[in-house]
């Protein structure tokens, strides 16, 4: 990425958020931001970068939007716009700090009245500054489909009256959960392969943690993503095979990411956070240590299971107990889990524990069932290898 492109990405979300705050209209604000950045690209190399680039971009964008509206003369019912027009200044007011409204923007994009797909696309477009084409490619859909999804989402925000604000306290816990879920979804899309999405999610999580310094779950989410991302280089062997957590070379972990992740986790714990992201981050932090404290990990999974009521979490708890106190107790727990019969990792984990107990025939059946459920080629090779390695 060039410096100009990087500056663009850094400022885009903040400038767009400020313009939406001023203009009260996503579509108009986005056009205005695009024009302001285009003007900057043309002028800055010639005239030099202004002392406060963000203010310059917002002021330029706002003036462009007002010009556009004058041309369109569709001002009537738009009081917010009329107010903006009334206080219009043509000269650059570069010293007045523009308010940072990225948080308002994030909560609007992640409003539960929008579909999850729309939330993700809108967040990447508005705060991430990704182009429609980039988002479309990341989610393996055609560009026209993605463009339509974005247009529809922006139209709904306007027509349905989705507010541009940080929700009041009584709504905040649910809405913050929606924001963290969207960011974590983006991260998970990038976890398997597309690293740029994971990096984008970490950038968004960093902004959220910075804008909500007193929210432990915001810190917890950032910590979790950093600690998981730190393992990226260790998760695959040089020939592209999956390396399981137990076999990963900790030398390959990104030490800086582990340190930043743990710092965010410490902030979350200091805020007395005990929510799902904080607990998951604490587990990820324990996994980065050698030797691992499986009893602690199992205890944290038990806590997470209580918080989330998720059978997948129970499975992880069972695996941790298998490591802490022996395969028989892990297996006993797995046999009690309901509703995961078509979940491949249940069968692979079961196969692993059965193999350790010397129950080879049952292990074979379990691995075979896992293989039926796996799509991913590298995962398929991993389990096929385990199946072959079972003693005859």
Partner 1 sequence: MKYAMLIHQGDTPTPLRPELWAEVPADEQAQIAADYQAINQTPGVQPGIGLQLPETSTTVRVEDGRTLTTDGPFVETKEALGGFFIYEADDLDAAIELAARVPAARLGGWVEVRPIQEW
Site residues for partner 1 per CB under 8 A: 77, 111, 113, 159-163, 167, 171
Task: Give burial (CB, 10 Å; 0-12/13-18/19+) of 29.
Answer: buried
Residue 61 or 167: the one with the smaller Cβ distance to partner 1 is 167
Residue 113 or 332: the one with the smaller Cβ distance to partner 1 is 113
Residue 114 or 224: the one with the smaller Cβ distance to partner 1 is 114
Residue length, the chain?
Answer: 392
Give 236's strand partners. 242
Q: How far is the CB of 80 from partner 1 (least distance, A)?
A: 13
Residue 21 or 261: the one with the smaller Cβ distance to partner 1 is 21
- φ/ψ bin of 110: left (φ > 0), alpha (ψ from -120 to 50), beta (otherwise): alpha
Residue 159 or 246: the one with the smaller Cβ distance to partner 1 is 159
Residue 129 or 167: the one with the smaller Cβ distance to partner 1 is 167
d(Cα 98, Cα 348) in Å, to the nearest integer?
A: 54
d(Cα 128, Cα 293) in Å, to the nearest integer?
A: 37
Task: List the structure tokens of 74.
Answer: 């569709």
d(Cα 156, Cα 251) in Å, to the nearest integer?
A: 49
Three-state DSSP class for residue 242: strand
Q: How far is the CB of 162 from partner 1 (least distance, A)?
A: 5
Residue 140 or 159: the one with the smaller Cβ distance to partner 1 is 159
Q: DSSP per residue over 341-362, as a string?
A: TT-HHHHHHHHHHHHHTT-HHH
Q: How far is the CB of 113 from partner 1 (least distance, A)?
A: 6
Q: How far is the CB of 161 from partner 1 (least distance, A)?
A: 4
Q: How far is the CB of 316 from partner 1 (least distance, A)?
A: 34
Residue 174 or 249: the one with the smaller Cβ distance to partner 1 is 174
d(Cα 354, Cα 348) in Å, to the nearest integer?
A: 10
- φ/ψ bin of 235: left (φ > 0), alpha (ψ from -120 to 50), beta (otherwise): alpha
Contact 221, 178 (CB under 8 A): no
Query: Which residues have CB under 8 Å from 51's CB, separation 6+?
Result: 94
Helix (H) or strand (E) holding 319: helix 311-325
CB atoms within 10 A of CB 101: 22
d(Cα 123, Cα 299) in Å, to the nearest integer?
A: 35
Contact 279, 303 (CB under 8 A): yes
């Amino acid at each position: 990425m060039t410096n100009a492109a990087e500056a663009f990405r850094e400022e885009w979300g903040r400038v767009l958020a400020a313009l939406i705050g001023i203009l009260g209209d996503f579509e108009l604000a986005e056009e205005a931001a695009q024009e302001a950045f285009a003007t900057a690209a043309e002028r800055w190399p010639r005239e030099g970068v202004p002392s406060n680039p963000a203010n310059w971009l917002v002021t330029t964008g706002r003036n462009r939007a007002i010009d556009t509206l004058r041309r369109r003369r569709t001002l009537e019912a738009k009081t917010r716009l009329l107010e903006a027009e009334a206080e219009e200044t043509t000269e650059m007011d570069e010293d007045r700090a523009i308010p940072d409204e990225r948080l308002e923007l994030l909560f609007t994009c992640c409003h539960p009245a929008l579909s999850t797909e729309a939330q993700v696309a809108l967040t990447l477009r508005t705060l991430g500054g990704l182009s429609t084409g980039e988002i479309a490619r990341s989610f393996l859909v055609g560009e026209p489909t993605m463009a339509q999804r974005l247009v529809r989402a922006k139209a709904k925000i306007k027509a349905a009256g989705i507010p541009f604000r940080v929700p009041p306290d009584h709504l905040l816990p649910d809405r913050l959960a929606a924001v963290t879920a969207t960011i974590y979804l983006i991260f998970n899309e990038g976890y398997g392969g597309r690293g740029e999405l994971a990096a984008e999610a970490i950038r968004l999580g960093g902004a959220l943690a910075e804008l909500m310094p007193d929210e432990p779950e915001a810190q917890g989410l950032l910590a979790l993503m950093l600690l998981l991302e730190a393992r990226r280089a260790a998760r695959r062997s040089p020939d592209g095979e999956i390396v399981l957590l137990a076999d990963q070379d900790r030398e390959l972990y990104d030490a800086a990411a582990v340190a930043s992740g743990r710092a965010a986790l410490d902030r979350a714990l200091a805020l007395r956070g005990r929510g799902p992201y904080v607990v998951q981050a604490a587990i990820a932090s324990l996994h980065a240590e050698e030797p691992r404290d499986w009893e602690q990990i199992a205890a944290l999974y038990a806590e997470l299971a209580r918080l989330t009521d998720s059978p997948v979490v129970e499975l992880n708890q069972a695996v941790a107990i298998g490591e802490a106190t022996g395969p028989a107790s892990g297996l006993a727990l797995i046999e009690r889990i309901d509703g995961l019969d078509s979940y491949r990792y249940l069968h692979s984990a079961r196969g692993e524990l059965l193999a350790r107990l010397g129950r080879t025939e049952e292990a074979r059946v379990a691995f075979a069932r896992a293989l039926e459920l796996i799509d991913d080629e590298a995962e398929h090779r991993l389990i096929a290898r385990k199946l072959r390695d079972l003693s005859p």
